[in-house]
């Protein structure tokens, strides 16, 4: 397995898609810092208010597409270039091949994630000279985000590994990423809906008053549907990412690490089992 890992990491450092994703993450982070600086110049106020801890994790949901593209192309190349067949011919087991690919994919997504955060931090200090950051809270959120990013890799790898066609594999992981992103948006939006609209009174410029009584919100999610939404919000990795991004962490801090770890274990187990049974002829 050590030989597989050395070969995989050697290929990673030479992979143009990986460095393209790295460039994208860097430019996205720089764009975020510059946008905040332009807002500061336009609206004024305290410099430190424009760069806060929330800025570090505002890509957690959308970055799944970047990871999907990288993993889809990286693994797809193993089929198109015959690399996978060569590994099998030289005597490596399918399990070893799968786990070595998983390790390098996890390493790649974590490097991209950390690179984004490091760029935001550096840019924030350079442009603003200060950064609203609570070290303990940041480290806790950062550790949780690493587990969620790892879950992304664990989800996308089986799809890429089990689809022989490179183009089909990339399309499948991107579509999976988009579906999970939309699912997170729908669930978060549904759970954020208030049960009732509170009564209010508006006084117009001419002195007339307009009032609306308290009324039920027809879009409020209740009953079984709400329980399903809450369960998915605790289980699905893109929902975990949304909670990190929106600073909507659960009261029990172990919820996200537990379910992300469960996704990693289940998806990895399923991926290894299916890959061992896959007909590669």
pLDDT digits over 166-216, tens only?
889 999 999 999 999 999 999 998 888 877 777 666 676 666 666 666 678
Percent of the chain scored above 70 by pLDDT? 90
pLDDT(25) > 70: yes
**Over the Cα atoms of the chain, what is R_g?**
23
Task: Look at residue 221 in the predicted model and tell me its pLDDT.
Answer: 84
Residue 135 reports pLDDT greater than 70: yes
Helix (H) or strand (E) holding 210: strand 209-212
pTM of the model: 0.88
Cβ contact 60:120 at 8 Å: no
Contacts of 52 (CB under 8 A, 6+ apart): 131, 132, 133
Neighbour count for residue 202 (Cβ, 10 Å)? 9
Consecutive H or E run containing 184: helix 166-192
Dihedral sign, Cα of residue 59, residue 62, residue 65, residue 71: positive
| Contact call for residues 61 and 245 (beta carbons, < 8 A) | yes
Distance between CA atoms of residues 50 and 40, nearest Å: 7
């Amino acid at each position: 397995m050590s030989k597989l890992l050395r070969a995989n990491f050697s290929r990673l450092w030479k992979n143009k898609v990986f460095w393209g994703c790295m460039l994208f993450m860097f430019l996205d982070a720089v764009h975020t810092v510059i946008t905040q600086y332009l807002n500061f110049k336009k609206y004024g106020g305290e410099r430190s208010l424009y760069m806060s801890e929330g800025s570090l994790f505002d890509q957690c949901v959308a970055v799944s597409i970047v990871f999907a593209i990288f993993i889809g192309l990286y693994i797809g190349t193993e089929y198109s270039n015959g690399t996978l067949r060569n590994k099998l011919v030289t005597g490596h087991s399918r399990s070893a091949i799968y786990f070595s690919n998983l390790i390098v994919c996890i390493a790649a997504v974590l490097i991209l994630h950390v690179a984004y955060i490091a760029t935001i931090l550096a840019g924030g200090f350079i442009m603003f000279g200060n950064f609203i950051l609570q070290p303990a809270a940041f480290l806790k959120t950062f550790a949780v985000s690493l587990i969620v990013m790892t879950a992304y890799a664990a989800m996308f790898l089986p799809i890429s590994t089990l689809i022989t066609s490179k183009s089909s594999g990339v399309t499948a992981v991107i579509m999976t990423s988009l579906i999970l992103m939309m699912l997170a948006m729908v669930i978060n939006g549904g759970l954020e809906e208030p049960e009732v609209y509170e009564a209010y009174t508006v006084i117009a410029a001419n002195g007339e008053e307009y009032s609306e009584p308290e009324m039920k919100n027809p879009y409020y999610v209740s009953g079984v549907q709400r329980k399903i939404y809450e369960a998915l919000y605790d289980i699905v990795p893109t929902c975990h990412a949304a909670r990190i991004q929106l600073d909507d962490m659960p009261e029990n801090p172990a919820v996200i690490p537990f379910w992300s770890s469960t996704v990693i274990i289940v998806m990895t187990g399923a991926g290894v089992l299916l890959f061992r049974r896959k007909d590669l002829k």
